[in-house]
Amino acid sequence: MVPILMYHNVGEGERHLTVSPQALARQCRLLRAMGFHAITLRELGEQLQMERIARRVVVLTFDDALLGVYQYALPTLRNYGWSATVFAVSQRLGQETDWAPRYRHRVMSRQQLVDLHAQGWEVGAHTLTHPYLTRLPPEDAWREVAQSREELQQLVRAEVYSFCYPYGDFNGDTVQMVRASGYRVACTVHKGLACPQDDPFTLPRVPVACSDGATGLLYRLWRAWRRTRRCRTRGGIDEL
Ligand SMILES: [Zn+2]
C-alpha cells in the first residue's frame, strides 16, 4: 500500500490549500524517519504494472503546478534527493489560477516547469483549463485531456505519463478518454492508499491540509491506512 500525497501550493501565510515550507520540511523529515523515500507517480505506475512495489515508498503530488511548489518544494525535496509529480494546467502556465474565486494562486512559468522536469520531477497533465470534465460536451472534454498531454510533451520534450482529474471529477467516459489519450495512470481525490489491484486510472490519494504539520500528516496516513487495510500487500505502511 502506497500513500500518494495530494498537495497544492507551498508558501508563507495563511492561504487556501497552501502548506508552509516549514510544515513541508517537517513532513519530509517525518517520512524519512519512518523509512520512506519519495518516488514519482510514474515510477509508482511502473512498479504497479510489474506488481513489484518497492518497500516504504511515498509519492508527493502537487496539483496545478503552482509557483510556490517551484520556489519551496523543489529545494526542500532536493535536500532528500527526492523528486515528485506536478500536474500542470497547460494553458495557465505563467498566469494566475482562474477556476475558483477563493483560489487565486500564481502558476509557475513554462520555463520553471521545464526546469523542474530537468531536475528529475515528473510533469503530469491536469487538462488545458481546469474544467469539470464530466460537464463538458465529449469533444471538448476530449480536447482538454488529449491536447494538454500533447502541449506538455512538446514543452518538456518527454512523455507525459500521468493525469489528474480536475476537482476529482470523472466518470467512465472520462477514464476512457484518459486511457485512449496515452496516459498510463491517473489520480483522483478519493481517499486511501494505492494498491496493486487498484485501477491505475482511478488511484486514491491522501490529502494534506494547510494546517497539517508532521503530526497531521501522520494522522492522515493512519486514517488512509485504516480505510485501505482490507487490501493486503507486501511492504508499504501496513507495517506501521
Ligand atoms: Zn487542480
pLDDT digits (tens, 9 = 90+) for 71-80: 999 999 999 9
Q: Is residue 239 predicted with pLDDT exceeding 60?
A: no
pLDDT of residue 238: 41
For 123-176, the DSSP string reads EEE--SS---GGGS-HHHHHHHHHHHHHHHHHHHTS---EEE-GGG---HHHHH
**In the numeric block, which cell numbers belong to residue 201?**
486510472
Ligand 1 centre to CA of 213 (Å) is 22
**Residue 229 — very low, low, confident or very high, per pLDDT cuts 50/70/90?**
confident
Ligand 1 centre to CA of 224 (Å) is 21
Ligand 1 centre to CA of 168 (Å) is 8
In order of 35, 91, 191, 237, the CA distances from 233 in angstroms are 17, 39, 18, 10
pLDDT of residue 101: 84
Q: Is residue 131 predicted with pLDDT exceeding 90?
A: yes
Ligand 1 centre to CA of 165 (Å) is 7
Return the percentage of the chain with pLDDT > 90, whole number: 81
In order of 12, 40, 94, 134, the CA distances from 191 in angstroms are 27, 19, 30, 20
Ligand 1 centre to CA of 161 (Å) is 17
- Region 224-234: mean pLDDT is 72
Give first-to-last CA distance, the chain, whole Å: 11
Q: Is residue 120 predicted with pLDDT exceeding 80?
A: yes
- Residue 31: how many CB atoms within 10 A of its CB? 23
Return the percentage of the chain with pLDDT > 70, whole number: 95
Q: pTM of the prediction?
A: 0.93
Ligand 1 centre to CA of 113 (Å) is 16
Ligand 1 centre to CA of 240 (Å) is 31
Ligand 1 centre to CA of 50 (Å) is 29
**Residue 240 — very low, low, confident or very high, per pLDDT cuts 50/70/90?**
very low
Ligand 1 centre to CA of 131 (Å) is 9
Ligand 1 centre to CA of 64 (Å) is 5
pLDDT of residue 236: 45
Ligand 1 centre to CA of 233 (Å) is 30
Ligand 1 centre to CA of 175 (Å) is 17
Ligand 1 centre to CA of 239 (Å) is 32
- Region 111-127: mean pLDDT is 98
Q: What is d(CA 84, CA 60) in angstroms, rounded to the nearest whole number?
A: 5
Ligand 1 centre to CA of 187 (Å) is 11
Q: What is d(CA 201, CA 217) in angstroms, rounded to the nearest whole number?
A: 25
Enumerate domains of the chain plus CATH numbers. 4-239 (3.20.20.370)
Ligand 1 centre to CA of 32 (Å) is 27
Ligand 1 centre to CA of 235 (Å) is 30
Supply the mean pLDDT for the chain. Answer: 92
pLDDT of residue 2: 94
Ligand 1 centre to CA of 88 (Å) is 8
pLDDT of residue 230: 61
The pLDDT tens digits of the residues spanning 9-67 come to 999 876 778 999 999 999 999 999 999 999 999 999 999 888 888 889 999 999 999 99
The pLDDT tens digits of the residues spanning 162-212 come to 999 999 999 999 999 999 999 999 999 999 999 888 999 999 999 998 888
Ligand 1 centre to CA of 157 (Å) is 23
